[in-house]
Structure 1
């Protein structure tokens, strides 16, 4: 047991101090994102919106994410990642607190749109910061550490969120989310002063390659959009499935979603360390992750036994653990010959596009066809993502 623990600790060696601070900031920020997994439940149960209304609100969520990611990438290339991250964290914190007071469809639609514009400016700036603060041989493990912080926050967040809903109602979620975002901004101001980042924050590449003309990268983005549409069902339609088809309580839903974050916290870094030293390519590993995620939806239709929810969660979790770190590392690798903000903004936008179509399409399909047919379609979309990643893998061999 001691040997296993030492090996686990050794997987974290070699990462810079700045990366560890960024991981802590991310942990503080993501610990408060308990609003997101419960958003569809909040809108249907507390505000009494229809599934169709919730779908359009989730589209606003995605539209805001696209614009925020694009704007964050542009500003990162112009003024540096530090200023963008501080602004995004503090203002999005205030925005989340205000969001709870919007109760009409139009007001909430516009509110969630503006929240996501500000909030997702953070993502490309964070990726560029990670790229600047990590050594080439540590890129994937750096991303994995940040994901570890995100998922540690997510594992605690939904479980605590379920308790807060029971004891304080949904309003408490918005306050905690907003306060933790602002706390993350204060920590960033305290520990990562601009002078520390000065030499890294303005790295310029002569004659940078445009990400829009990088055909390999565009093919990769198409696969990520499809993968994102499938994956994001776990944050919109899946909580409703747990509630309506398997009659789980908010606390049980929070614990099941928290299982995802806990497993990632325990297993992801050792898994990534092992896979980095294996014969698998990044594109091949992304393919494997998309395949496992697709299977996580297929198994839900195999049995009505509630234990199948855990099997599905396990498949999705390991698919996520493999797909996300290596897709992120792949994007950072392609960005080295271009404007990093542009490349990482497009990578973020691929998931923002998934937000636009994924949540709405999933909710509309559930409303019209039910959960079973929706899960079959999710499996099919994952299959298309696997196919595109297979083509990508073949192209990279030549």
Structure 2
């Protein structure tokens, strides 16, 4: 009897590490290249979003703690919506005049104080003006923050910068409501204190980190200038990593309000005072500031794009307003199962959005926005065609990819049409479109739900997405011309 020797094959440990290295490489590429200030904006957004609790429980607070009827509470929430609308305009307008950094610090600090005050008031007459004021100052944050992100990131990295902000907001949205729910069970007063204090903490973190980044940059500029002399301007702005500062960084600092400027010429005594406090490069930039750019109200392609984005937002808002009711009444899912569908959206955004933005950089933004419209319509239009938790999760995954492709790309497209002198107003208009849809969308969706039936909502959403895809395709040539 013959025997055969079969050698024992040992698994190569490197084979198991290859997929890990591949994934790690994808994430490294997705997050690489972003300037330090973009990460500061991310950190501030994360702190602020993690403490955003009051809004999620505001209707319960007004009805259960304050004794308002559902109708009165709805009117109060509408007042909040109008405050957000006003804040979107004000935040953009002030960013072009005060500097977007100052607007963000003011927004966070004042919102924190008003949140704490709102929790101490026990009369409707006191709550309503505080609620409007809180919404007004909170609404200023987004256009100012988007303006800052656009200015600190080079043009080819702006989409990734806006996606980074969305990552912070989505991570915070998973923390804030969970912590807020635990606090609300004990005391609604704790809810207002926690939300207000985290807003103030975000303002403090912003001030400290931004000052540190500015001081470090000034130190590098000074060191580079001393070592290289007047003949090597590129080296003067070099970072320790060997990468040069993006071109135009001094101009962006001036528009952000960091060089003592506000992005437009100043008059007389104030300009002389600021110029005396500036270093040479900053003073040169300030002296050459361009006048305020064109108003977004005179940019016809931009206004048409905002109409399209308004209808997109009307559709998207349904996933926050009509979706839970539909899942409860039509799919028969209990509240806890409905609550488990939303993390599908959050997890996909956190894990994949930055990688997705890196992968699509070579494609035209407007083409990808068109794809996003179709994916949103497909995900929502499929909902009446199936039942059950897993089919619902599939539809959420589909429209989430539509959301990931649209939100940062639309914001980048808006930024592309502006310059440093009017970017705040453009971002404010963009924020205004979404805020207006936030007011009108739930009412429109639920009216269709009651009048035409639950399934009709999603068929109308799918049809709307097809229409705006066609409209945006027709608008693309005009958007290509600035």
Pick the TM interval, shorter chain. 0.7 to 0.9
Aligned equivalent of 2:395? 312
Contact 2:34 2:153 (8 Å CA) reproduced: yes
Aligned equivalent of 2:12? none
Higher relative contact order (CA 8 A, sep 6+): 1
Shift of residue 217 of structure 1?
A: 0.7
Contact 1:32 1:181 (8 Å CA) reproduced: yes
Aligned equivalent of 1:199? 254
Choose the corresponding residue for 2:467, options 376, 379, 384.
384
User: Quick one: distance in 2 between partners of 1:337 and 1:24?
Assistant: 23
Choose the corresponding residue for 2:78, options 49, 56, 59.
59
Aligned equivalent of 2:426? 343
Aligned equivalent of 1:331? 414
User: Quick one: distance in 1 between partners of 2:391 and 2:82?
Assistant: 33
Aligned equivalent of 2:313? 228
Shift of residue 313 of structure 1?
A: 1.7
Relative to structure 2, which stretch is displaced further, 93-102 or 255-264?
93-102
Instruction: Give 3-state SS (helix, strand or coil) of 1:67's partner.
Output: helix
User: Quick one: distance in 1 between partners of 2:176 and 2:170?
Assistant: 9
User: Quick one: distance in 1 between partners of 2:104 and 2:213?
Assistant: 15
Aligned equivalent of 2:237? none
Change (3 A) 1:373 1:66: same
**TM-score, normalisation: structure 1:** 0.86
Aligned equivalent of 1:210? 295
Aligned equivalent of 2:174? 155
Contact 1:40 1:240 (8 Å CA) reproduced: no
Matched, 1:178 2:167: no
Contact 2:374 2:469 (8 Å CA) reproduced: yes
Aligned equivalent of 2:277? none
Instruction: Give 3-state SS (helix, strand or coil) of 1:11's partner.
Output: helix
User: Quick one: distance in 1 between partners of 2:450 and 2:58?
Assistant: 17
What are the equivalent positions in structure 2 for 1:30-49 lying under 5 Å apart? 30-37=49-56, 49=69
Shift of residue 264 of structure 1?
A: 0.6
Change (3 A) 1:18 1:250: farther
Relative to structure 2, which stretch is displaced further, 224-233 or 237-246?
237-246
Choose the corresponding residue for 2:341, options 242, 249, 256.
256
Superposed CA offset, 1:128-181 (max 9, x none) = 21122111221111111111111111233344455555x547665444332322
Choose the corresponding residue for 1:362, options 434, 445, 449.
445
Aligned equivalent of 1:269? 354
**Structure 2 residues not aligned, in runs of 5+:** 1-19, 215-251, 257-261, 265-289
Choose the corresponding residue for 1:136, options 135, 155, 160.
155
User: Quick one: distance in 2 between partners of 1:34 and 1:254?
Assistant: 16
Choose the corresponding residue for 2:375, options 292, 298, 312.
292
